[in-house]
Amino acid sequence: MKPARVLLLTMIELYGLNNCDTCRKAIRDLKEGGFDYNFSDFKRDGLSLADVESWLILAGWDVLVNKRGTTWRGLTDSEKADLNDEKILSLIIKYPALIKRPVFKVGNKLIIGYKEEQKKALGLYG
């Protein structure tokens, strides 16, 4: 028997990139699961400073930033040096693709990435 979906009644705010395979998979799974969601593309729709600030508070930049991606690897050594929340905030606004994708905002909860742990937190199984 499947566990009940805890997030069933809450609208999911989904942030990512249209051309990201992982984001497309998350969208497909949400649709197939019958979840209500809104999708915002970082590049097309932009990022709100307030959203990124709240994500940094909720998750921390070490979770929010994708250090395995080409955008991170393309940063200069000086951009990567002496990182703090303020500097990371500035980098994320300048380079939205630095954010690990997708980002799910469900009520006051933030879920970042799309592996088994995140799928279970969203109530998606499989």
Residue burial 60-88, b: 16+ Cβ < 10 Å; e: rest: ebeebbbeeeebbeeeeeeeeeeeeeeeb
Reduced to 3 states (helix: H, G, I; strand: E, B; else coil), residue 77 is helix
- Is 23 among the residues known to form the active site? no
CA 67 to chain centre: 14
DSSP element (H, E) containing 12: strand 12-16
Q: Which of 5, 20, 47, 89 is catalytic?
A: 20
**Distance between CA 103 and CA 115 in Å, rounded?**
12
The residues assigned a catalytic role are: 20
